[in-house]
Chains A and B, each alone.
Chain A
């Protein structure tokens, strides 16, 4: 199946439709909530939470004996929340730094989870296999009920986000100040972290424990490059996430033996790369272009300022001078001179140049100090 076949099948094949919708919704909710992680500089929290969810999955299986997604994800949710809680209290109550606490909990929970998984694999029970799909995810197992749950969670988190928009924005920017204005920052923190945990747990089935944090971070990091407005950033992150989900599913469905989760993550990473290079203003390319353009402009003005100093010695600013007196030391080339003429800053007659009134003004402004902010 190639990509075009995939897209024609998308609307006729039920399973494919469900999977695509699922990954799109997952990408959108992760992008939206991931923006908060990125802006709070808590990017690694998502990674720790997703790893902390693994023992919950294994324990849920051991306790219930079923592999029903909902039971397993409930286990994941509980152990993910427990891990998050531990991280926060380690940071609060000991002198350990945030990254240390994250690393500790991540490896502790993940190690315990792996231990349980190997234990389960040795059990004399026909029902055991398949839990390891939660390591890297398996989008093909998405059922329509799973997608309904995802849509439900996305709807609720969008509602809460809009409801507490002002408070959450304040918390992101300046938590101490938020507290002094009388808002309960603990409540806001629990609210936003709770939704992030929920989104991670929902993604485990599709993307898996190991790669889940990329779903949160990549769309948000890409979106940040394109805008300087929080609302636009969150919206873009959701779009990027959904796009990664759809394109990732399409690519993996049209090739054999490409699992969906990693492909989705790679697509998202591709978006990050594109954004870093091509975004206006913040992109590497735009900055490079700006640098060269500024340098060119500066060269022009350098030549102009030499002319300005020469012209200053005469009563008539437009007194003609020989081109010869300008030389390479002053950044002069024939091209520069033509550019200056194009801008109407100088006039060239034969092998003589003269400054125009406009050029004189321009050079004068060049020497004025920066527009200082108003004294009041």
Chain B
């Protein structure tokens, strides 16, 4: 079995502009992965499947990962030129400043593919693809035309993570029902408040019950105020008319 670096070299020799990058895995499992550019993913996948030496004919696992926006604090040392009064004369002086900056690294969705070879009995080779962001540019090319086993698994990733696989022949929700709106496996998914009283109330159930009660009371008072306003207005009008 080739190492990830050798596979990377083989892909780059075969597919121009594949943009392969090795993602090291610090865990003892040693399963390093290859990140590929979504634009050339189908060509890369076809090469991996059809190459005589790699022969990765079996796509075992397809899954999504949600990476949220990350706040990164970094200390930056910067040298800049400042004009300053030195001995009564305005001069340009080099000044070195150390600053702590907060940078937000935008989140993305990731699709991970685990490949094995049935013919050569080796593997896994891990492929990853990233979307541009988590909100509006979430398209990735589907690898179902290359490996049929991605069919249901990509549908599942679409359903639970919201990655849109372009070129998938039948991209529908797999597990949630068709009218469902959100993607429940995202890290920032909030469960709807469909609280039902359970007779065996645990602490968490009681907490949810109180929160639910407060929310529904607030909603009913808001609705009550709205409903009572026109009635009052009508009364006032009535009294005015009487007068």
Chains A and B come from one and the same complex = no
Q: Which residues of A contact B (CB under 8 A)?
A: none
